[in-house]
Structure 1
Amino acid sequence: MITNTTIKETIVQKSAFYEDDGTLTQYLEFHYGEQWHGEANFPRALALAAIDAMDGRTLNRALDIGCGCGRTSFELARVFAQVDGIDFSGKFIEQCQTMARDRVVRYARVEEGALVTPQERSLESLDLEYTAERVAFHQGDACDLRPEFTGYDLVLAGNLIDRLYDPSLFLTRIHERLNDDGLLLIASPYTWLEEYTPREKWVGGFQKDGEDYTTFDGLRDLLTPHFTLLIEPRTLPFVIRETRNKFQYSFSELTVWEKRREG
């Protein structure tokens, strides 16, 4: 019998992509580097969208789940008293913790082939130095969060759900981590791949009862028992630089959900 434990072990093996040094440097540039092709820094834009949605709400605690290299967590800490950043990748979390501790990260950005240029990025240069004391980073599994990660006013899942081994498990339990009236912000390009998520676990992107069933359809069905859609879907562009001449240009669909009061 195939269980979630079996699936998780398989996905862990295939998720070595996110432990690769080349991928790490790409994501450090994605989070802290230059803006490319006229598009805003995506991790920062995501945080700004969340802060805008939180207008007038309690700003005590936020959870940035799938935090990558940490930029969104630091940006959220401009207004939140405490931010927890969680990622599955140990290498990503090490870099987050380095940035929080040393206020600077250094990496070699690939130009072409074996040619690289050294990069140094600091929180001070991004006007984020004061936020480091409000942020804590942890390695963890979005589908199996530890009990202490609860009581949040905001949960942000940026470019996460289509890389989970069981996204429905995450989506049907995440309300347990939020305070009443708290917000869940999900952003995703919905690039479902069987190397990360078994096809039977996809939230959408297939036909159901003879009709197209999108990921937004799946989100609505899974989240409606505990959430109300607060803001209609919109897209945010993002650019990941691989080399001087190669970029990934994508769009992430952003939805904002409000947790309903229980009882």
Structure 2
Amino acid sequence: MPTTTITTDETASTDGALGHSLLRGDELLRAESPDPQYDRPRELSRYLLMHYGSFEDTFERPDHPLAGAYGYAHRLSEALRAAAELTGCRVRDALDVGCNVGGVSHELARWVEDSVVGVDLSPRAVEVARRVTDAGGGSFSVVKGAGTRTVRFRLPDRRERAELRFETGDGEALAGRPGGYDAVLVSNILDRVADPAACLAQFHDSERVLRAGGLLVIACPWSWYPEYTDPAAWFGADRPDHSSEHALKAALRDRFTLVAESEQAGVLCQNPREYDYFESHVTIWQHR
């Protein structure tokens, strides 16, 4: 996990990484902009904290009732690593779809052999992920009561990581690469795309995105909203007696083997007394 220290907004750091400002406090105190949701300062702040903040940054007390939800990015990466060991799948190159500010990509880069590519639709989230990578850490502000506080963090030595690259892109229209990736992680976007079935089809219709024998991770809380996806396209909509989890398995079972299944909790901090808790259904599949 990243090393993190908490400071006040007035504190200056002589460390280049810790002093690299990613998001200022004054940006969080303005009225919400008309920008897309995931480009907005408060949204970026919440994801920076979930991806890079320490336990103390996130909860401020050790006995917090949501403490078990800490470390979502790390747990997703470790679930994929365990599946790779179980199946004997060598992961030289990985694709992180819906990477946001890059926390899962950085966790993957600690064990993937050669390269990790993070892709997200939000230009500002991708910009922040790149700046974190270039600086080896940074600082950002989070809301605290009527004001803000600053969180500073430092990543592990980049010499110990795979090559990292971040790109702005649509998870429904991935560019792919010759031969495909050894592993693809699709994190919390299937219930946010216009056509989730078409999004899934990218991973089995050819080996442009995922190679034969490669691993596919689908993490999703199945939190559907009509402003993102037409209700007719929601997984399970055609079978009221089936859940989204069942619909996903039905869509993949002919071309993939289910390797692992789990529930992974996560939490986004609005302020020290308000949190958005979610529980992602995580399945890991091997492409046949």
Tell me the TM-score normalised to structure 2 length. 0.78
Cα-to-partner distance string for 1:182-216 (whole Å, 9 max, x where unaligned) = 11011111001111111122123x462xx422112
Distance 1:149 1:216, change over 3 A: farther
> Within the alignment, does 1:96 sit opposite 2:129 as a pair?
yes
Partner of 2:277: 249
Structure 2 residue runs without a partner (length 5+): 1-33, 60-65
The structure richer in helix per residue is 1
Do the aligned partners of 1:86 and 1:140 also contact (CA within 8 Å) in 2?
A: yes
Q: How far apart are residue 225 of structure 1 and its match?
A: 3.0
Aligned residues: percent identity? Answer: 29
After TM superposition, give the deviation of residue 133 of structure 1 in Å. 5.6
Match of 2:46 among 11, 26, 40: 26
- In structure 1, the residue matched to 2:175 is 146
Q: What is the letter of the counterpart of residue 203 of structure 1?
A: F
Q: CA 1:183–1:242 in 2, change beyond 3 Å: closer, same or farther?
A: same
* Corresponding residue for residue 199 of structure 1: 231
Residue equivalent to 2:13: none
Distance of aligned partners of 1:105 and 1:191 in 2 relative to their CA distance in 1, 3 Å threshold: same
Change (3 A) 1:182 1:147: closer
Letter in structure 1 aligned against 2:229: T
- Matching residue of 1:218: 247
Q: Secondary structure at the match of 2:226?
A: coil
Structure 1: gaps spanning 5 or more residues: 1-13
Alignment pair present for 1:186 and 2:218: yes
**Equivalences, count:** 239
Describe the shift of the 1:215–1:15 C-alpha distance in structure 2 as closer, same or farther (beyond 3 A). Answer: farther
Matched residue, 1:172: 201
Task: Give the Cα–Cα distance (whole angstroms) in 1 for the partners of residues 203 and 255 of structure 2.
Answer: 10
Give how far 1:172 is off: 1.4
2:186 aligned counterpart, secondary structure: strand
The answer for the alignment partner of 2:268 in structure 1 is 240
Aligned to 2:159: 130
Matched position secondary structure for 2:268: strand
- The answer to whether the 8 A contact 1:108-1:118 is kept is yes
Instruction: Name the TM-score, length of structure 1 as normaliser.
Output: 0.85
What code does the residue aligned with 1:21 have?
Answer: P
Shift of 1:149: 7.5
2:258 matches 1:229: yes
Q: Does the aligned pair in 2 maintain the 1:143–1:169 contact within 8 Å? A: yes
Aligned residue type for 2:253: T
1:157 aligns with 2:186: yes
Q: Could you say what the CA RMSD is over the residues aligned between the two structures, in angstroms?
A: 1.8
- SS of the residue 1:174 aligns to: coil
* Aligned equivalents of 2:210, 2:140: Cα separation in 1: 36
In 2, the alpha carbon distance for the partners of 1:129 and 1:241 equals 28
**Aligned-partner Cα distance in 2 for 1:38–1:128:** 27
Alignment pair present for 1:112 and 2:134: no
Alpha carbons 2:221, 2:278 under 8 Å: kept = yes
Which of 105, 116, 122 aligns to 1:73? It is: 105
Q: Distance in 2 between matches of 1:78 and 1:18?
A: 26
CA shift digits 1:149-203 (9 cap, x unpaired):
8621110011121111111101112133111111101111100111111112212
Q: CA deviation at 1:224?
A: 2.3
